[in-house]
Amino acid sequence: MKISVMSNAAWMMSEKIVSVFGVIFVTSYVAKSFGPTVFGQIAFAASLFSVVQTIAIFGTETILFKRISKSAQKGVALMAVANKLRMTIFLLLSLPVLLYVWYVLQENFVVFALASCLAALFVTQDTFSVYNNARLASRLNTLANATGMILSFSLSFFIAWLKLSPRFLTLSIVAATLVPYLIKRFVFYQHNLAPMPSQHKRKKYLRYLLYAGLPLAISSIFISLQVKTAQFFLVGVGSAQDLGLFAAANTVSASWIFVPVALITSSFTEIFRERTDRAFKLAARLHGYVMAVSLLMLLFIALYGEKIITTLYGQDYAQSGSLVTLLSLATCFSAMGTVAYRYMVKEGGFSYLLKKIISLMVISLPTSYLLIHFFGLMGAAWSVFITELLSLSVMNYFFKHGVIKKIQISSLNYKTYR
C-alpha cells in the first residue's frame, strides 16, 4: 500500500481508538451505573434514528466518495445537492418516528429519541467527513470526532458518577455529533467555496443521486437493519433489559471493525481510479488484509469476550457473554463484505445491489423473527450471523460472472501480494 493510504488509514484508526476507549471505560461504566433497562432504552432510541439517518443519507456517501476521489471540484458541487436531499428525507421520516415513540413507548424513550434525532440530524449533514476521507485528509475528521467523543464521554461519566437523572445523558448524545460537525464545517468553508450549482445542474445531480443512490440506500438501510432488526424483534418478544444485554454484546463484538474499515476506505481512493484488471488485483489484496485482521480479532474475542463483558459491564450482563463470539464472527463477514460492496459500486452494480438486498430481506426478516421468537437472545445473534454470511457469499456470487468469488479466491493466493 502507498504511504499516503497507510497514513490516512492510521488517522482513521486512531479516531476509533478514542471511541473504543470510551466504550471500555465510560459507556460500560454508564451501563453498569444505570442498569440494562436504561441502557436498552438508549440503545433502542439510537437504533430508531440510526435507521432514519441511514435512509436520509440515501447511499450518497459512497457516491460522493467516488466523485470526490476523481474530481474534488465536481464532488463539492454534488455535496451541496446531496445535503439538501438528505435534509428533506430526514425531516419527512423523523416526524412519524417521533410521533410513534410519543404515543406508544415510555417517557424515557421519548427523551432519548429526541436526543438521538438531533444527533442523527448533524450526521446526515456532515458530508465534510466524506470529502476529507476521499482527499486522504482523515486527520481532520479524527481530531474533530475525537473532540466530540471526549466531550460526550466526559459528560456521560460525570452524569453517572454524580448519580444524576439518566435524562441528562441526552447532552452527551447530542454533543457527540454536534461538536465534530461544527468543527469540520468551519474548516471546510475556510478552504473551499461551495456555491449551489445552477438550476439545470442541480436537477442533473439530483437525478444522478436518486438513480445511483436508491440501490445503495436500500443496501445501506438493510446493512443497518441487520442488527437493528434483532433489536426491534426483541422489543416485541423480550424487554428493555434484553435490549441492553444484546447491545452490550454487540458493542464488544463489533468494537474492532474500525481497523478493517479504515483500510478499506483509504484503499478505495486508489481502487476507484484504477482500470478493471488492476482494480481486481488491488481488491483481492485488500480482501486478504481485511480477512487476516478480522480473524485475528475474532480469535481475541473468542478467548476473552465473556471476561471482557463481565469486567466492563458487571454480572448483570453475564448473559451477554454467550453472544460475543458469534456476533464477532458476523462482524468478520461484514468487514469482508464491505470490500465486495465497494467493488460492486466501482463496477456500477447498482441494480444488482438492489436485487441482492431485496432477496436478503425476503430471507432474513422471517428467519430473524422465528429465531428470536423461539430462541430469544441467542436467536438474535444467530439471525445476524446467518444474514451476514449470506450477504458475503452466495448473494454476491451472481454479480458479473462471479467476480466477487474470484476476488475472494484470489486473496488466498500468495502471488496476489507480490
Residue 181: which of 133, 224, 121, 136 has the closest Cα?
121
Count CA atoms closer than 13 A to 335's CA, side-chain side: 31
> Can you tell me the distance from the alpha carbon of 132 to that of 118, in angstroms, rounded to the nearest whole number?
23
Q: Within a 13 Å sphere around the CA of 163, how many CA atoms are in the beta-carbon half?
A: 0
Measuring CA to CA, which residue among 363, 12, 91, 62 is closest to residue 215? 62
Query: Cell 439530483 appears where?
Result: 206
| pLDDT the model gives residue 120 | 92
Whole-structure pTM value: 0.69
Q: From CA 221, how far away is CA 110, in angstroms rounded?
A: 23
Alpha-carbon distance 332 to 138, whole Å?
24
> Can you read off the three cell numbers belonging to residue 227?
442488527
Residue with the larger pLDDT of the pair 74 and 299? 299
Mean pLDDT of the 132-158 span: 84
Helix or strand holding residue 413 (H, E): none
Mean pLDDT of 356-375: 86
The percentage of residues in the chain with a pLDDT greater than 70, rounded to a whole number, is 88
Helix (H, G, I), strand (E, B) or coil at 71: coil
pLDDT of 1 over the 60 cut: no
125 or 216, higher pLDDT: 125
pLDDT at 292: 93
Question: What distance in Å separates the CA atoms of residue 130 and residue 342, rounded to the nearest whole number?
Answer: 14
How does pLDDT run across 228-254, given as a tens digit for each residue? Answer: 677 777 766 666 677 778 888 888 888
Q: Does residue 91 have a pLDDT over 90?
A: yes
d(C-alpha 100, C-alpha 358), whole Å: 26
Q: How large is the average pLDDT for residues 216-223?
A: 71
Condensed to tens digits (0 to 9), the pLDDT of residues 308-365 reads 888 877 787 888 888 899 999 999 999 999 899 888 888 888 788 888 888 888 888 8
Q: Considering just the CA atoms, what is the radius of gyration of the chain in Å? A: 21
pLDDT for 223: 66
Band (pLDDT 50/70/90 cuts) for residue 122 is very high
Cα–Cα dist 7/2, whole Å: 9
Q: What is the pLDDT of residue 40?
A: 76
What is the DSSP annotation of 102-148? HHHS-HHHHHHHHHHHHHHHHHHT-THHHHHHHTT-HHHHHHHHHHH
Q: Calculate the dihedral angle through the C-alpha atoms of 198, 201, 205, 206, rounding to the nearest 10 degrees.
A: 70
Q: Which residues of 317-327 are buried (b: 16+ CB within 10 A; e: fewer)?
A: bebbbbbbbbb
- Greater model confidence, 232 or 117: 117
| pLDDT score recorded for residue 8 | 61
- 418 vs 281: CA distance, rounded Å: 10
Render pLDDT for 378-403 as a digit per residue (tens, 0 to 9): 888 898 899 899 999 999 999 988 99
Would you state the pLDDT for residue 13? Answer: 64
Average pLDDT, the chain: 83
The mean pLDDT value for 73-77 works out to 81
Per-residue model confidence (pLDDT) at position 9: 61
To 10 degrees, what angle do helices 60-70 and 324-346 make?
50
* Structural domains of the chain, count: 1
| For the ranges 90-99, 186-195, 203-212, the one whose mean pLDDT is highest | 90-99
Give the cell for residue 232. 426491534
pLDDT of 8-41, one tens digit each?
A: 666 666 656 665 665 555 666 777 778 777 777 7
Q: For residue 190, what are the domain limits? A: 3-417
In the Cβ-directed half-sphere of 120, how many Cα atoms lie within 13 Å? Answer: 28
